[in-house]
Amino acid sequence: MALYDLHTHTTMTDGEMLPIELIRRMSVLGYSTVAITDHADATNLHELITALKRLVSSAREYGVTLLPGVELTHVPPGQIPGLADEAKKHGAIIVVVHGETPMEPVAPGTNQAACSCSNVDVLAHPGLISLEDACMASDNGVALEITSRGGHNRTNGHVVRTALASGSQIVIDSDSHGPGDLLDMRAKKLVGLGAGLNEEQCSRIMSLNIQEWLLRRK
Give the tens place of pLDDT for each residue, 6-46: 999 999 999 999 999 999 999 999 999 999 999 999 999 99
Structural domain containing residue 98: 3-217
**Calculated CA dihedral for residues 59, 63, 65, 66, nearest 10 degrees:** -20
Q: Is the pLDDT of residue 1 over 90?
A: no
**pLDDT-based confidence at 182, cuts 50/70/90?**
very high
Q: Is the pLDDT of residue 86 over 90?
A: yes
When divided into structural domains, the chain yields a total of 1
Q: Is the pLDDT of residue 216 over 90?
A: no
Mean per-residue pLDDT for 154-181?
A: 98
Q: What is the pTM of this model?
A: 0.98
What is the reported pLDDT for 73? 98
**pLDDT-based confidence at 49, cuts 50/70/90?**
very high
Q: Is the pLDDT of residue 116 over 80?
A: yes
What is the reported pLDDT for 217? 75
The enclosing domain of 182 has a CATH number of 3.20.20.140
**pLDDT-based confidence at 218, cuts 50/70/90?**
low
Percent of the chain having pLDDT more than 90? 97
Phi-psi region of 130 (alpha: psi -120 to 50; beta: other; left: phi over 0): beta
Over the chain, what is the mean pLDDT?
97
What is the reported pLDDT for 12? 98
Percent of the chain having pLDDT more than 70? 100
What is the reported pLDDT for 2? 84
Q: Is the pLDDT of residue 88 over 80?
A: yes
